[in-house]
Amino acid sequence: MEHGLLEKLAQTKRRLRIGECLYRTGEGFFFLYIIRSGFFKTTLIDKEGREQITGFHMSGEMMGIDGIATDIHACSAFALENSEVCLIPYQQLENTDQSSEAFQHFLRKALSHEITRDENMMMLLGTMRANERVAAFLLYLSQSYLARGFSRYEFYLRMSRAEIANYLGLKIETVSRILSSFQSMGCIETQQKHIVIHDLEKLKHLDSKNMTRSHPLS
């Protein structure tokens, strides 16, 4: 995936502490970011100040593409743990000769991937029940960790219950209750942010069978 060009441009790095903001809604768009390590959330804020988390992002993912449309960042990005990102100057990309082919293609893929991701989220928010959403969320995390070489059965949540709830369009008490119910079903075990998945299949069935509604996340 185009590591040659990216490496050349991505010479600047930035470290962020937990809670720090990488970019903010309304700021000018100058960089694309590739997450080297750590964990982020991206959020939208509406006029009344209500926050909506639009995504969680981990190492290898690109962030910032929301700024391309208007040259202004449409959402904000916050580090949920100490993190490191590579900065890719966007203007240089547009001007670079070598960018014309392979990178353009890569960028388009990234954008389109983002669209797919968002549309899956719309499906989740539009059609799934609370327990299906939480199950889909756990499966999404499991899948993400697996893809990065970590255990798919055991991991630490980087986000709070409130952030999970917000992301899934639920309330914090509902998320907590559902996690407890999954635990009493023997699907999972939770100790605060530490999650162990005992029965991945049961979770998948919740996600796709329970109460005649479904669809996975990403």
Partner DNA sequence: CGGTTTCTTGATTGGGATCAATAGGAGTGG
Partner DNA sequence: CCACTCCTATTGATCCCAATCAAGAAACCG
Contacting positions for DNA (CB under 7 A): 129-131, 160-162, 169-177, 179-180, 190-193, 212-213, 216
Question: Does residue 109 belong to the site contacting a second copy (CB under 8 A)?
Answer: yes
CB of 77 to a second copy, least distance (A): 13
Rank residues 2 and 51 by Cβ distance to DNA and give the closer one. Answer: 51
Rank residues 12 and 160 by Cβ distance to DNA and give the closer one. Answer: 160
Question: Does residue 201 belong to the site contacting a second copy (CB under 8 A)?
Answer: no
Amino acid sitting at position 115: I
Long-range contacts (CB closer than 8 Å, 24 or more residues apart) made by 98-103: 98/5, 99/5, 102/2, 102/5, 103/2, 103/5, 103/6
Handedness of CA 113, 35, 32, 21 (dihedral sign): positive
When binding is defined by CB under 8 A, the residue of 150, 169, 200, 202 that contacts a second copy is 169
Question: Does residue 11 belong to the site contacting a second copy (CB under 8 A)?
Answer: no
Cβ atoms of residues 187 and 204 within 8 Å? no
Cα gap 62→85, rounded to integer Å: 9
Nearest to 174 by CA among 162, 185, 184: 162
Cβ atoms of residues 199 and 205 within 8 Å? no
Rank residues 11 and 52 by Cβ distance to a second copy and give the closer one. Answer: 52
What does each C-alpha distance from 125 to 15, 22, 128, 165 come to in angstroms? 33, 27, 6, 12
CB of 96 to a second copy, least distance (A): 11
What is the tally of helices (H) and strands (E) in the chain?
A: 7, 11
CB of 134 to a second copy, least distance (A): 14
Rank residues 32 and 188 by Cβ distance to DNA and give the closer one. Answer: 188
Report the partner that residue 65 touches, choosing among DNA, a second copy, none (CB closer than 5 to 8 A by kind): a second copy
CB of 191 to a second copy, least distance (A): 28
Rank residues 96 and 218 by Cβ distance to DNA and give the closer one. Answer: 218
The binding site for a second copy (CB under 8 A) comprises 44, 46-48, 50, 52, 54, 65-70, 74-75, 94, 100, 104-105, 107-109, 111-116, 118-123, 125-127, 166-169, 208-209, 212-215
